[in-house]
Structure 1
Amino acid sequence: MLNKTRGRPRGNPDTKARIAEVARELFLKHGYPGTTVRAIAVAAGVDSALISYHFGSKQGLFSQSLTLLCVDPTALDQALRGDQAGLAERLLDSVTGLWDATAPAENRMAVQDDDTMRALRDYLDGELRLRIAEFLGGPDATQRATAAVGVLGGLIFTRYLNPIRSIGGLSPADVRRVFGPALRAALYGRPRQP
Structure 2
Amino acid sequence: MNNVAATAARSRGRPRGHPPTRASIVSAARALFLERGYRRTTLRAVAGAAGVDAALIAYHFGSKKGLFAQVMQVHCAEALAVDDVLGGDPATLPDRLVDAVTALWEDADFRQLTAQGDEAAEVIREYLESELLARLVEFLGGRDATARATAVVTILGGLIYTRYLNPLPTPAALTPSAIRGALAPALRAALAPRARTTAATSGRSAFG
TM-score over 0.5 (shorter chain): yes
Q: CA deviation at 1:138?
A: 1.3
Q: Higher Cα Rg: structure 1 or 2?
A: 2
Aligned mates of 1:73, 1:100 — CA distance in 2: 11
Distance in 1 (CA, whole Å) between partners of 2:76 and 2:60 is 24
- Give per-residue Cα distances to partners, 1:59-107, cap 9 Å, x unaligned: xx98761387345366222111123221111111111122112358626
Structure 1 residue aligned with 2:60: 44
Aligned residue type for 2:174: L
After superposition, the C-alpha distances for 1:144-182 in whole angstroms (9 at most, x for unaligned) are 001100001110111111211210111111111111111
User: How many residues are matched?
Assistant: 151
**Root mean square deviation of aligned Cα:** 3.6
1:6 paired residue number:
none
Residue correspondence of structure 1 range 18-97 to structure 2 within 5 A: 18=25, 43-44=59-60, 65-66=71-72, 69-72=75-78, 75-97=81-103
Amino acid at match of 2:103: G
Instruction: Tell me the equivalent position of 1:124.
Output: 128
- Find the aligned partners of 1:170 and 1:16 in 2 and give their Cα distance: 36
What is the rounded CA distance, in whole Å, between the counterparts of 2:75 and 2:173 in structure 1?
A: 21
**Cα distance in 2, alignment partners of residues 99 and 114 from structure 1:** 17
Q: Determine the C-alpha separation between the residues in 2 that align with 1:165 and 1:191.
A: 37
Within the candidate set 176, 186, 192, 1:182 is matched to 186
Q: Which amino acid aligns with 1:141?
A: A
TM-score (norm 2): 0.59
Q: Distance in 2 between matches of 1:192 and 1:44?
A: 48
Amino acid at match of 2:169: R
Structure 1 moving runs of 4+ over 4 Å: 12-15, 61-64, 189-194
Unmatched tracts of structure 2, length 5 or more? 1-16, 34-55, 62-66, 203-208
Q: Please tell me whether the aligned partners of residues 70 and 102 of structure 1 are also in contact (alpha carbons under 8 angstroms).
A: no
**What is the identity, as a one-letter code, of the residue corresponding to 2:25?**
R
Give the CA deviation at 1:44: 2.7
Secondary structure, aligned partner of 2:167: coil
